[in-house]
Chain A
Amino acid sequence: MTHFGAVVRNRRERMHLEDRRFSLRQVAQRVGIEPAYLSKIERGDVAPPSEATTIRLARELGEDPDVFLAMAGKVSSDLQEIVRKRPRLFADLIRQLKAAPDDAILRVVREVRDGDW
């Protein structure tokens, strides 16, 4: 299985091919970590970073923060809070939907209602 760091490195290097601002050093600077630490993350020498850093990395690299968090083995704190407030309801909902196809899950998502205007 591809580790988190490899995905980060692959993504960053692809962007670096077209934009020199995506060097290891500049990305680390914008994300607010040391270049040496980002290098270790990319090599898989250290565990994935904190939730906040993972989210900043995702946004910097144009990726979905939830997807990056999942690859890092984490669940965002706002999702945890949602489940904590109504644990039985959401746990049951998630288990029931675990094998459902994407379009079926989208059908239970709350939509923005279009009215009469």
Chain B
Amino acid sequence: MITLEDDRLVFRFPEVHENARCVIEFQRTLRIPDDDTDYPLPPGLGPLPLRQLDDYARRLPENWQRRGGVIAPMHQAEAMWIEFEANSGFPSYPFAVKIASGKVCAITGDTWVNHLNDDPQDYVTLPEQPWLDGYCVEKGVIRQFVAMRLGKGYTVEEQLTGAARHGGIQIAVYPMKRERYRELAARETRVRYAKMPPGVVACMAPCEMGLAPGGRMRQEVYDDPYGLGVWDQRRSSRCFVTIANSTQWMAITGERPPTVPPTARRYTDAGLPWFEWYGGDAAAVAGSKKLKSLASVARMGESEDETPLPENETIEVNRVIGLRSSDSTRVREFSTDEPTHA
């Protein structure tokens, strides 16, 4: 089951195990320059608001209503990242999570299917993967998720399928089989503190907005350390997240969308930190040749003689905070009223 709690999707599998609970949140962030430089991780600027789509059914087109799920606002060319939290119980309950945009897998570039594949691996595992910022284009490199209007040809969906049918983001979560979790728990006899979040299957779909590949960022997508057979694929849950642009959002919900995030230049010039994640010995997947072959938003704009990304100048990042998987907290957020954790 999936519930919406404080702008977070909470996935629970009480029929599998009481600890089988994970949380997924969509973080607003600044858009990194799309200039073929590899940047560190940008900050989280707070969660994107999420609302139950059914609450606004009368104001929505029929194809939006049919998808169910939730709705989120994004500005044109705004970036976001997905945060995973799987820290319910000890040891943390593991999950496999599939992520797609426009029903194209963000890890492999393949068309969405409701089951998991391991060759190539088309999912991330929790608690190993703390977040995902974009499309896995190379080993250790992603291209940032950037919201673009459907119909202009920029989105991954349009570039790979030639159609603008789905948009949005799709996420699916599969819990580890109960008996395998019990074996895992039995092996973890040494008591230690671990903070990580739990998971389920959710889907975020675009209506008028989809996601396109932006700038390059250093981020690893980790190999499944458990193996395909441990995941309970009979118990997955799905959710579709529709992305509305800011005008649509106000018309539908009556709420103002969040403000436009600062540019990478302004953020960096203010001396604020970027981040780097050290995942320890975890191995990373190779990255998708399909996704690597896609034109980034800036590159496509050049070929179309358009300027889809305002303020896309290269910046030099000097302040980078390292975060490690062994840290008990994984703060990657900046707020104006609290100091960041170094």
Chain B residues within 8 Å of chain A by Cβ, number: 39
B338: A residues at CB distance < 8 A:
30, 32
Give min CB distance, A38 to chain B, whole Å.
Answer: 15
Query: Contact at A115–B87, with CB atoms within 8 Å?
Result: no
B52: A residues at CB distance < 8 A:
110, 112-113
A103: B residues at CB distance < 8 A:
14
Residues of A34-80 at the interface with B, using a CB-CB cut-off of 8 Å, are: 60, 62
* Residue in contact with B69 in the complex, picked from A32, A62, A112, CB distance below 8 Å: A112
Give min CB distance, B239 to chain A, whole Å.
Answer: 5
Q: B240: CB under 8 A from chain A?
A: yes
Q: B326: CB under 8 A from chain A?
A: yes
Most chain A beta-carbon neighbours within 10 Å: one of B9, B193, B339: B193
A109 to B12, CA, bound (A): 12
* Residue in contact with A112 in the complex, picked from B14, B65, B70, CB distance below 8 Å: B70
Query: Contact at B193–A113, with CB atoms within 8 Å?
Result: no
* Residue in contact with B2 in the complex, picked from A15, A62, A111, CB distance below 8 Å: A111
Give min CB distance, B211 to chain A, whole Å.
Answer: 15
Q: Which residue of B lies closest to A78 (CB)?
A: B6
* Residue in contact with B3 in the complex, picked from A30, A60, A111, CB distance below 8 Å: A111
Q: Please, what's the 1-or-0 string for B87-101, where 1 marks a CB less than 8 Å from any CB in chain A?
A: 100000000000000
With A62-B195, A106-B1 as contacts: A115 and B339 at CB distance below 8 Å: no
Most chain B beta-carbon neighbours within 10 Å: one of A18, A29, A112, A117: A112
Q: A82: CB under 8 A from chain B?
A: no
* Residue in contact with A19 in the complex, picked from B170, B327, B337, CB distance below 8 Å: B327
Residues of A14-38 at the interface with B, using a CB-CB cut-off of 8 Å, are: 14-15, 17-19, 21-22, 29-30, 32
Residues of A67-117 at the interface with B, using a CB-CB cut-off of 8 Å, are: 102-103, 106, 109-117
With A15-B193, A22-B328, A114-B237 as contacts: A30 and B68 at CB distance below 8 Å: no
A32 to B337, CA, bound (A): 9
B87: A residues at CB distance < 8 A:
62
Q: Please, what's the 1-or-0 string for B306-342, where 1 marks a CB less than 8 Å from any CB in chain A?
A: 0000000000000000000011110000000111010
Query: Contact at A18–B326, with CB atoms within 8 Å?
Result: yes
Q: Which residue of A lies closest to B4 (CB)?
A: A112
A34 to B127, CA, bound (A): 34
A21: B residues at CB distance < 8 A:
329, 341
A112 to B242, CA, bound (A): 13
Give min CB distance, B24 to chain A, whole Å.
Answer: 11
Q: Which residue of B lies closest to A103 (CB)?
A: B14
* Residue in contact with A17 in the complex, picked from B18, B68, B103, B193, CB distance below 8 Å: B193
Q: B216: CB under 8 A from chain A?
A: no
Query: Contact at B14–A111, with CB atoms within 8 Å?
Result: no
A102 to B15, CA, bound (A): 12
What are the 4 closest A-B residue pairs judged by CB atoms, nearest first? A115-B68, A113-B68, A112-B2, A115-B67
Chain A residues with CB under 8 Å of chain B are: 14-15, 17-19, 21-22, 29-30, 32, 60, 62, 102-103, 106, 109-117
Chain B residues with CB under 8 Å of chain A are: 1-4, 9, 12, 14, 18, 52-54, 65-70, 87, 103, 166, 170, 192-193, 195, 202-203, 205, 237-240, 326-329, 337-339, 341
